[in-house]
Amino acid sequence: MKFYQRFAYYLVGLVMGGFFVAAVLSGKDTRCNYFPNARVLNDLRTKPFLYDREASRRLLEDWVDTLDIKNTLTYGDVDFDKSNVKEEGGKLYVIYGKTRKGKEITLEVINYPEKAVLRNIIKKGK
């Protein structure tokens, strides 16, 4: 068998395999959260998210809103040195992020088995 014939068979198999993989994976809501930061943030986003009294008071102020919280829970960085501390029947996570105006914020979130509670929002660099 000549090289161009083998190459043609290879391409036909590659295209058929690509279509098969695309058909199998296109209907599923798959996520590849291999790193600890992505796993923690995904876990916090998928649970019912509640606000503590202090966090609700901070949200009434003019410098932060719920969209900033959502973006921080999507694109933020978890500080594992200060996080994963048992507190009030859950684990405390400290997450760094930014508002839409570029101000740095820190979220303190308590992760319970059935819910996540935003305990406090801290503004950095006053």
Structure-derived torsion over alpha carbons of residues 24, 44, 37, 125, reported in degrees to the nearest 10: 140
Q: What is the pTM of this model?
A: 0.74
pLDDT of residue 25: 73
pLDDT of residue 30: 65
pLDDT of residue 76: 94
Tens digit of each residue's pLDDT, the chain (126 residues): 899 999 999 999 999 999 988 887 776 666 677 899 999 999 999 999 999 999 999 999 888 999 999 999 999 999 999 998 898 889 999 999 999 988 999 999 999 999 999 999 999 865
pLDDT of residue 75: 93
Report the candidate in 119, 96, 97 with the shortest Cα–Cα distance to residue 108: 119
pLDDT of residue 29: 67
pLDDT of residue 68: 93
Output b/e per residue, 97-113; b: 16+ Cβ within 10 A: bebeeeeebbbbbbbee
Distance, CA of 23 to CA of 17 (rounded, Å): 10
- Consecutive H or E run containing 119: strand 116-123
